[in-house]
Amino acid sequence: MAHTFDTVDIIRCKRDGGVLSTEQINWVIDAYTRGDVADEQMASLAMAIFLQGMNNDEILALTQAMINSGETMDFSGLGKITADKHSTGGVGDKITLPLAPLVASFGVAVPQLSGRGLGHTGGTLDKLEAIPGWQADISNDRLMEILAGPGCVVCAAGAGLAPADKKLYALRDITGTVDCIPLIASSIMSKKIAEGTASLVLDVKVGSGAFMKDLAQARELAETMVTLGNNAGCATTALLTDMNTPLGCKVGNALEVAESVEVLQGGGPADVRELTLALATEMLTAAGLPDADPAAALDNGQAYDTWRQMITAQGGDPDAPLPTAKHTHTVVADQSGVISELDALAVGVASWRLGAGRARKEDPVQLGAGIEIHKQLGATVHAGDALFTLHTDTEDRFERALSVLNDGWKVSNDAPPVRSSVILDRISATS
């Protein structure tokens, strides 16, 4: 008979800086998933972990316990090597959209189980739902069929995959315990390991628009997740990438789909293309294709063809017009100079206030809402030049959006430091 622990003893142990045993962690996660541990008790334990941290053995045990709480997927019969990517979230982070079909166009299966946006960070499923007819919810059988065909699927994770994480994340979101490295790492990696992909590349964002605000914190998270993945037999690497300014020139659901299509057709903003190619190279190398040329696949239409097949396979019409907002408002420069500040968080919150995001998971989003950025950080501008165009269906949202956006940009005579690359570092098992 399995040992039964006292929940309060486990909370006290972690509260006082103690180390939880694997047996304690297994028991409390299983009991919480079944409803035998109350929400207020798990909230207390989450706060204790937030304040006291966890060592590597505890994080490994927590991750495995959440994997064991539900089903796991198996792609061994697919006949293709699998590779996946996960981003910790940011502003204008549309990379999954061009990346999945780009990698799949080389014969690699990409099972991209994605989520929705919350607050200032956008969600991949919300973006793709801007495409008329596209469906986020598909069965496991249909997922396997599409992976065997076009080779890439972007869809919602099934309820049976790491249900303990789903329950715990909802609790963390309302108890101030989201930004905790042990809890973030175990949350992300339990889902990705349960997903069953052979390899994984992590895009860990750093900066004002990311959950990790400084490089040291982001590096610790990346190293923790890389260790968890490789210990579980999933070849895992991570890139640390800059999220102090928005990624690309468009923020918002339909706007980001349009920009992703530009990248798939060989164009698009330089930073979006750079990061897409860097992550594709990581995924293709892990899949045994180190000599593949992803840049050529963007430029010659190979990746775009796979995109069209992927969208069609999930019920979408790749030729249909994307939703547009009913109202627009343009912000212009009040003086000549250089864009010396362009804050990702301010742009993300403004886009959210326009209707592109949600405050609660059940809230609807406006598919056409968001912000177009006409002048990037470091650009020279003249008085009267258009800097941003705001989009929304609800005209009275402009005032609240502008109140935060206008504090997030600056035109001055001082040019900001030149950002040579959006990629700050690479973390591997041997780093």
Q: What confidence tens digit (pLDDT) does each residue in 309-359 have?
A: 999 999 999 999 999 999 999 999 999 999 999 999 999 999 999 999 887
Q: What confidence tens digit (pLDDT) does each residue in 204-251 have?
A: 999 999 989 999 999 999 999 999 999 999 999 999 999 999 999 999
Arithmetic mean of pLDDT, 29-54: 96
pLDDT confidence of 1, banded at 50, 70, 90? very low
**Which of 100-104, 168-172, 186-190, 342-346 has the lowest average pLDDT?**
168-172
Assess whether pLDDT exceeds 50 at residue 288. yes
**pTM, entire model:** 0.94
Of how many residues is the chain composed?
Answer: 431
Structural domains in the chain, sorted by start: 7-53 (1.20.970.10), 83-319 (3.40.1030.10), 327-412 (3.90.1170.30)
Pairing of strands 250-251, 370-373: antiparallel
For the chain, what is the HEC assignment?
CCCCCCHHHHHHHHHCCCCCCHHHHHHHHHHHHHCCCCHHHHHHHHHHHHHHCCCHHHHHHHHHHHHHCCECCCCCCCCCCEEEEEECCCCCCCCHHHHHHHHHCCCCEEEEEECCCECCECCHHHHHCCCCCCCCCCCHHHHHHHHHCCCEEEEECCCCECHHHHHHHHHHHCCCCCCCHHHHHHHHHHHHHHHCCCEEEEEEEECCCCCCCCHHHHHHHHHHHHHHHHHCCCEEEEEEEECCCCCCCEECHHHHHHHHHHHHCCCCCHHHHHHHHHHHHHHHHHCCCCCCCHHHHHHCCHHHHHHHHHHHHCCCCCCCCCCCCCEEEEEECCCCEEEEEECHHHHHHHHHHHHHCCCCCCCCCCCCCEEEECCCCCCEECCCCEEEEEEECCHHHHHHHHHHHCCCEEEECCCCCCCCCCEEEEECCCC
Q: Kindly name the residue from 44, 84, 85, 86 that is annotated as catalytic.
A: 86
Q: Kindly name the residue from 172, 205, 219, 353 that is annotated as catalytic.
A: 172
pLDDT of residue 431: 65
Assess whether pLDDT exceeds 70 at residue 118. no
For 58, 171, 198, 363, the CA distances from 177, given in Å and listed in that order, are 17, 8, 30, 22
pLDDT of residue 389: 98
Specify whether 187 is catalytic.
yes
Specify whether 86 is catalytic.
yes
Q: What confidence tens digit (pLDDT) does each residue in 8-26 have?
A: 999 999 999 999 999 999 9
Q: Kindly name the residue from 93, 126, 165, 203 that is annotated as catalytic.
A: 165
Arithmetic mean of pLDDT, 406-419: 90
Arithmetic mean of pLDDT, 185-204: 95
pLDDT of residue 429: 85
pLDDT of residue 2: 59
Arithmetic mean of pLDDT, 268-280: 98
pLDDT confidence of 361, banded at 50, 70, 90? low
Arithmetic mean of pLDDT, 353-373: 88
Q: Kindly name the residue from 187, 199, 260, 351 that is annotated as catalytic.
A: 187
Q: What confidence tens digit (pLDDT) does each residue in 297-306 have?
A: 999 999 999 9
Q: What confidence tens digit (pLDDT) does each residue in 121-165 have?
A: 778 999 999 999 999 999 989 999 999 999 999 998 877 889 999
For 189, 193, 228, 283, the CA distances from 231, given in Å and listed in that order, are 11, 10, 5, 18
Q: What is the mean pLDDT of the chain?
A: 94
Specify whether 3 is catalytic.
no
pLDDT of residue 425: 96
Q: Kindly name the residue from 14, 85, 167, 191 that is annotated as catalytic.
A: 191
